[in-house]
Homo-oligomer: A and B are copies of this chain.
Amino acid sequence: MESDHVRVLFSPSGRRGAVAIGTSLLDASDQLGVEIESLCGGRGACGHCQVEIIEGEFPKERIKSCSSHLKQRDLVEETTLPLKEGRLLACQTTLSGDVVINVPRESQVHPPHVCKPARIHKTTLNSKIKLYYIDSALFDSKSELGEAEHLCQLLKTHWRLESVRFDLDLIQLLPGILESGNLSITLAVYDESEVIAAYSGQQESCYGAAVDIGSTTLAIQLCQLNSGDIVAEAGSINPQVQYGEDVMSRVSYLMMHKQSLHKLTSLVRSEIQSLIDQVCERAGIDPSLLLELTFVGNPIMHHLFLGITPLSLGQAPFRLIASDSMVLKCKDLNLKCHPATRGYLLPCIAGHVGSDAAAMVLAEAPWESEEITLLVDVGTNAEIVLGNQSRLFATSSPTGPAFEGAQIEFGQRAAPGAIERVRIDPKTLEPSVKIIGSQSWTSDAHPQSDLDLPEVTGICGSGIIEVIGELYLADVIGADGRFNEQSRQRSSRIILDGKTYRYLLYKNDSITLTISQTDIRAIQLAKAALYAGIRLLMESYGCDRVDRIRLAGAFGGQIDVKYAMILGMIPDCPLDQVSAAGNAAGTGARVALLDSHSRNKIEQVVEQITKIETAIAEGFQELFVDAMAIPHSTDPFVNLNQVVALPDRRDKPVSRRRRRG
């Protein structure tokens, strides 16, 4: 990097890059494709461009972010919007060193509207919460019992609810509720044992929400508890990304700043609160009708959300502090709905296999079938579950963030401007690409005149997988992932780079996007880890093939399963048996919300799952080494070969692995 440039990283978009010293933050955001509100055109007058600096060391980005790296211009006029504490006007602040900048929601032009699709799923309805309407004709105002006890007695007489009690918070409100309903009242009873809410007169519906606490995105589904209908959904970026894009960097951050646990916890909780408020507003319901929430997340998010230190999850033996399911009051999590709103957290499975994986298991119900199902949620840590009605196995594998575009020179998150699909002509080696935000294929050789074509900013995970798969199919790289020396003669897109090569994927005035040997190596390491984890479970189960593969999560929905198999991320399987499971974690959270029996079921299932820790499993290293090859050094991939003509695999190394299990 030129020395008259400084590094800037914008959160939560994750956009980063170098800009000239003296650039204003507003201009820097513009150059890096981050949209910040600026109604006054950067004169310091409107006050809409407020941002904040995140100080600290960010080793992965090689940024030491410090407020002394920012210079503030003297303001000429007073700004219309008052400046919040700790905020700066991006248009009036110039750069003299590296910084990490957070763009708060209200300063974003298009606040990210992440909304994982909620898969339709047949769910038995059996909510923990049921409503009972007690007409004033039933209410005996002369009963010598306390009002609360009299209502409990009516529940017993008329609905056979034997031992119901009132929540204290509710008792405080009871006289007013009875009065304004003229002694007609609707009681919300939790688990046939506790009256947790009451409404004047007759109330037909109450609501619950399923919350998926992802490392990167948070998603919520608001459901009517009596019909099971999803009445609103919302999503947002997990604001913790400013402390590390993946959970492991957040753990590292906490190692250095132990007192910050509380901050990270309240960040995610208040973002969830704002999602709750959003869905209630969209559905037009009063938050006091929201009576239960279910939560899922990976172990580190689970702990961070609960305010439990995740430090023990940062190193072997990756020990959870608490793994069982939990029932609690949402107000104890500082979430405001009804004062008595209950929360249910699904159980975690193991040190790196969270309640999101448990929810995926609940959504997919592999225990119901004879077929061997493989469930994979690809993330920084892939969560893997394999088995059928006879037994289930789970593990996680440290794939790292490469699939999410990190560690890849031009990698970026899946966002407008990212290349997501790649085809390479096997003869000419000319590429065509598809860019997120555009409908059609394009290439730098034949740029489209389309005005709607977003500017290319990088390549996302699915694009990387396809480009490497295509390079392999075109014989540019071998099964070992190395560029074939002779391919340089085939096209000028193969560029010498020191002792190795790069492939030029896209070039225009503003970007020269290449795929380097290092990028390919990073993907190989990631996919080898994933494959080895899967293989470990197959050996534990004692099977050579799986009947069905379900890929969960956003990434599972983006990738083309054929390329995932060409690359050897997943084992061989009939392609029509491989499919995306959508937001299986969110679906599972919803199942747990709507069907209380499913909670007992998943708790039992999780207890019986055999947990395998890749870090200490015997033979994992060998499985890993064998899986470095594309698609694999020894496994045959029979089904795949029927669909795709894989290059001759003569040059495959001899397996150093003895078969086990």
Contacts and interface: CB of A to CB of B under 8 A. Distances in A.
B324 A149 contact: yes
Interface in A137-177: 141-142, 144-149, 165-166, 168-169, 171-172, 174-176
Given A144-B350, A148-B324, A324-B165, A172 B306 contact: yes
Contacts of A319: 141, 146-147
A310 to B, nearest CB: 10
B147 A320 contact: yes
Contact of A309 (B144, B175, B322): B175
B611 A171 contact: no
Contact of A146 (B144, B176, B320): B320
Interface residues of A, number: 38
Given A323-B145, A323-B146, A332 B613 contact: no
Given A147-B321, A165-B324, A172 B308 contact: yes
Contact of A171 (B146, B306, B317, B350): B306
A320 B141 CA distance: 11
Nearest to A299: B146
Interface in A173-226: 174-176
A557 interface: no
A348 interface: yes
A311 B175 contact: yes
Contacts of A144: 317, 350-351, 611, 613
B147 A322 contact: yes
Contacts of A611: 144
Interface in A538-565: none
Contacts of A328: 168
Contacts of A168: 306, 326, 328, 332
A512 interface: no
A182 to B, nearest CB: 15
A341 B322 CA distance: 21
B323 A149 contact: yes
Interface in A351-393: 351
A476 to B, nearest CB: 44
Nearest to A325: B165
Interface string A281-316: 000000000000000000000000011110110000
Contacts of A311: 175
A348 B320 CA distance: 44
A174 B321 contact: yes
Nearest to A152: B324
A319 B306 CA distance: 41
Contact of A348 (B146, B175, B322): B146
A144 B172 CA distance: 44
A22 to B, nearest CB: 46
Nearest to A176: B309
Given A168-B332, A317-B142, A332-B168, A322 B175 contact: no
A172 B175 CA distance: 36
Contact of A149 (B141, B146, B306, B322): B322
Nearest to A328: B168
A146 B613 contact: no
B175 A312 contact: yes
Contacts of A324: 146, 148-149, 165
Contacts of A332: 168-169
Contacts of A613: 144
12 contacts: A141-B317, A146-B324, A146-B348, A147-B312, A147-B319, A148-B324, A149-B322, A165-B324, A168-B328, A169-B332, A171-B321, A175-B311
Closest 7 CB pairs of A and B: A146-B323, A146-B320, A148-B322, A171-B322, A146-B322, A172-B307, A147-B321
Interface of A: 141-142, 144-149, 165-166, 168-169, 171-172, 174-176, 306-309, 311-312, 317, 319-324, 326, 328, 332, 348, 350-351, 611, 613
